[in-house]
Amino acid sequence: MLTIVSGAKTHKFTVEVTRSPEQQQQGMMHRQSLAPDHGMLFPFETPREASFWMKNTLIPLDLIFYRSDGTIANIEANAVPLSLDFIHSAGPVAGVLELAGGRAAELGLKPGDQIDWQR
């Protein structure tokens, strides 16, 4: 379970955690849908600059880059399915959360909001 605190609201998500390089490489590729209260988490061993692309990803996604302290660094909304353009973090991050495209805006999520996830 992962929560995001945004202002006075707390949003809960069931997340798949990518624990191996192979799982991180596969990510959301070839999936047909993603429930609004589900996501995929890409935690990193050490903070680093991160970049993703949408190769073989069939649905739009919101990519939420978060820092070691759990704060959201930046959000790239509605990443275009199948795009080979790189999507970058705004500086070193501890991980990335992928949600269904448009969900971050729907919930009013913004940089500085707090992600809480227990490894």
- With H, G, I as helix, E, B as strand and everything else as coil, classify residue 3: strand
Measure the CA–CA gap between 114 and 29, rounded to whole angstroms.
Answer: 27
**Domain coordinates in residue numbering, the chain:** 2-117
Identify the helix (H) or strand (E) that includes residue 22.
helix 21-26
Measure the CA–CA gap between 2 and 117, rounded to whole angstroms.
Answer: 5
pTM for this predicted structure: 0.96
Q: Domain 2-117 belongs to what architecture?
A: Sandwich (2.60)
For the stretch 34-63, pLDDT in tens is 999 999 999 999 999 999 999 999 999 999
